[in-house]
Structure 1
Amino acid sequence: MTKGQIRKAISGFYYVEQEGELIQCRGRGVFRNRGISPLVGDFVSYVREGDNDATITEIDERKNELVRPPISNIDQAFLVFSLVEPDFSPHLLDRFLTVIESYRIEPVICVTKKDIASDNAIEDSEAALNYYRGIGYDVIETYIEDPQLYSVLEPFLKGKTTVLAGQSGVGKSTLLNTLIPDLALKTGEISDALGRGKHTTRHVELMEVAGGLVADTPGFSSLEFTHIEKEELRDYFIDMNRIAPDCKFRGCLHTKEPGCAVKAKVDSGEILASRYKNYVQFLQEITDRKPRY
């Protein structure tokens, strides 16, 4: 058996990289029987059955995995958000951050389309972006013709496996086109009627970029919290989690409990009020979820 990493998955075929060569593989039937599916990013063992045909026989243990997009063994996530077309949404950003934090993946906030944003749009987003910087997140602001784009992104990408995630139309494919000019990914146009982008990326693929691996993934506009329990949610809001030990009651959910240090910081303006509002909404969403059996 030979070991390699799945770099691409299309229509039931898995393309495994081994010493610079991509081997077309199928998964063993036993994986389906066990309810297991190989994912892009998996390190696997395979047996060759021809010059460019093989069967995956084993999947190594994963350090993490995402369901949507389906990918494993990720070091960091570039959460790509545009300032306009579609408009910047702190609410959606907090949803992404919550899910990414829950998988113990390092988030990097990447804001696009600054070159076509109005002064008002830039000003409206700046307070929120400064807050995220202040609590410890890296925030990169880009535009497509930025001559420094590659040099800005390279230190973040080198030696890491990075997933690009965000709404359709925010510029993920355009960003990759800039990093890899020969890639020529089809970029989507924004639907004026719907105010959101068309899906242009149809599969997940890891590509070598700036000394690391970057995944372009199908765009999507919402994330569910089906794997998160309400007692866990507070851990994934890093600004609140740091203050939680000062709450009067252990296990404080930061809603109605007396002596809540988090609510005090919200009242004083040290925790962004809109972010706390998102936390409360997400908590209610999880509370209202039907029990899993």
Structure 2
Amino acid sequence: MPEGRIIKSLSGFYYVLHDGQVTQCRGRGVFRKKKVTPLVGDNVVFQAENKLEGYILEIKERKNELVRPPISNVDQALLVFSAIEPDFSTMLLDRFLVLVESNHIEPIICISKVDLLSQQQKQEIEQYAEEYRKIGYEVILTSTVTEKGMEQIQPLFEDRVTVIAGQSGVGKSSLLNTLKPELELKTNDISMSLGRGKHTTRHVELISFGEGLVADTPGFSSLEFLTLEVEELTDCFPEMSRLSEQCKFRGCLHVKEPKCAVKEAYEQKEIPSYRYEHYLQFIEEIKQRKPRY
């Protein structure tokens, strides 16, 4: 039986890429009985008489999966955050980073619309970029108007499955259109009354970029930490994870414990204050989470 990857899911049909050809498939009833839903990104075994009448027989083991957007087997996430319109938010970026890190997906930070910045605003954004680079993240400043940073992004897609994610209105579709104009993805300007963009991407679809695949997604409709436990949060902050080995107590949460290396680094301003403050806020949020049954 042939094996392929689901690249689109729409109206109960799954579109499977195999040897450069796409076959329209349905899921077997056995998946519904097992309460397993095929996801975009799944590697599957299928059978088909023709390109329009295929059936998915088996879903291979996933290395990771996201719930919203529903996609699996992702290698990296390009997190697109605008420098302005809407304004850059370290809180929102850190929330995205934690969600991505907790799913063992490599994050890349893209700060868009830098052509709209004043000189002072540009200095502030470059300061943030440098702080995140110091943590170990790749940060790329971009503009679809001047095409700044495009030459850095294009090679990142090769041989990898990439999710592009971020707030509405930050320019995700514009970015993809600039890199691959034939896509002609719909874009919307920011609503000035609401201060946010309108959703223009309605479904998850993997798009071929050279030898790689890129997911244009509707964005993360939920940014809650639904499954992350308090003890796992440190691992989602790389700079804290590295320091935690120097803490006096194993399993230190870096909140009230004595001789905590993370708190010492924060007090010495070796960790940006907003990163530690967001960490404390996320700890509290997870503790307050209602049990799921």
Superposed pair shares fold, TM > 0.5: yes
CA distance in 1, matches of 2:51, 2:245: 59
Distance apart, 1:220 and its partner CA: 4.0
For residues 249-288 of structure 1, the aligned pairs below 5 Å read 249-288=249-288
Describe the shift of the 1:210–1:154 C-alpha distance in structure 2 as closer, same or farther (beyond 3 A): farther
**Could you tell me which amino acid in structure 1 is paired with residue 130 of structure 2?**
N
Matched, 1:219 2:219: yes
The match for 2:5 is 5
Q: Secondary structure of the residue that 2:26 maps to in structure 1?
A: strand
CA distance in 2, matches of 1:195, 1:124: 21
Consecutive unaligned residues of structure 2, counting only runs of 5 or more, are: none
8 A Cα contact 1:168 1:221, kept in partner: no
The match for 1:239 is 239
For residues 129-148 of structure 1, the aligned pairs below 5 Å read 129-147=129-147
Per-residue CA deviations over 1:27-46 (Å, capped at 9, x if unaligned) read 11111121111111111111
8 A Cα contact 1:154 1:210, kept in partner: no
The match for 1:171 is 171
Identity of aligned residues (%): 57
Consecutive unaligned residues of structure 1, counting only runs of 5 or more, are: none
Per-residue CA deviations over 1:14-65 (Å, capped at 9, x if unaligned) read 1001111111111111111211111111111111144421111100001111
TM-score, reference length from structure 1 = 0.96
The match for 1:93 is 93
The match for 1:73 is 73
Q: Secondary structure of the residue that 1:233 maps to in structure 2?
A: helix
CA distance in 2, matches of 1:118, 1:8: 40
The match for 1:106 is 106
CA distance in 1, matches of 2:18, 2:274: 47
CA distance in 2, matches of 1:112, 1:61: 35
Distance apart, 1:198 and its partner CA: 0.6
8 A Cα contact 2:81 2:170, kept in partner: yes
The match for 2:27 is 27
How many residue pairs were aligned?
A: 293
The match for 1:46 is 46
**Could you tell me which amino acid in structure 1 is paired with residue 208 of structure 2?**
E
Q: CA RMSD in A?
A: 1.4
8 A Cα contact 2:247 2:260, kept in partner: yes
